[in-house]
Amino acid sequence: MTPKPASFLKFLFLTALGFVAVAATDRGVAWMFGEQTLAPLVSLLVLAGFSFFLTPIQILISLPLFALESYFLIREVSAYPYVRTATVFLGGILAWAVSAERQKISTQFAEIDALLSQLPVPWLRVDASGNILQASQTAILTLGVTLPQLQSSAFSYLFFPNKKKGDFIQTFLRVVDQHQGVSGFELVSRHSGRVYYASLAPLSGSRGTSVLVVLNPKI
């Protein structure tokens, strides 16, 4: 699951913690090994960590701070302080791109979850291997099992107990092909201006139960 964006107070705390970590590590290395500095490297590691917890805007705000800190820590001991500082900027831009992509994926999955929550029919979300990732409350009640039991099982075993798990993908794809163009999930997504490549197919299995199966989208 994608982490939620950090609040402003958490942003200040993480930035201050990273700022201190860069300075402390750099001074510790200088104390042990003399005229050596790791400030740019530690700054890059901190910014890489930020890409998983901070928003793109927060990373852009913190980037100049770490670049300036690195420059002032290395300017007297490095032959090329500007070049090494530039690497911090480049690494920060990469961290910003990762954070932006993470935020985009988080938003798209939130929209998918909101759409699924409005469906009145029972549904299961599965991956390409047939592992059950998520189930609606109506699906849980219809199948008469708990969510942990569903998630510890597999779709192929639940509906096709006589088939091997490896046969699930081909079976599912054949059923999906039969229902192309009638997927309510895709139609609603197109109406909102986006198309998510998830497919829905009503399947009836050995239990005589019909559910809507959502193939987890690749975003």
Would you list the DSSP string of 13-38? HHHHHHHHHHHHHHHHHHHHHSS---
For 44-48, 98-102, 165-169, which range has the lowest pLDDT when averaged over its residues?
165-169
CATH class belonging to 119-215:
alpha beta
- The more confidently predicted of residues 217 and 60 is 60
Structure tokens at 64: 């100049």
- Work out the angle at residue 203's Cα, subtended by the Cα atoms of residues 201 and 207, and round it to the nearest 5 degrees: 160
Q: Residue ranges of the domains in the chain? A: 8-108, 119-215
Q: What is the DSSP letter of 215?
A: E
Q: What pLDDT sits at residue 12? A: 92
Q: Does residue 20 contact residue 32 with C-beta atoms inside 8 Å?
A: no
Q: What pLDDT sits at residue 191? A: 38
**Confidence band, pLDDT 50/70/90 cuts, at residue 170:** low
Structure tokens at 160: 């096709």
**Radius of gyration from C-alpha coordinates of the chain:** 25
With both helix axes pointing from N to C terminus, report the angle between 8-33 and 56-74 in degrees, rounded to the nearest 10: 20
Using DSSP bridges, classify how beta strands 210-215 and 200-204 pair: parallel, antiparallel or unpaired. antiparallel
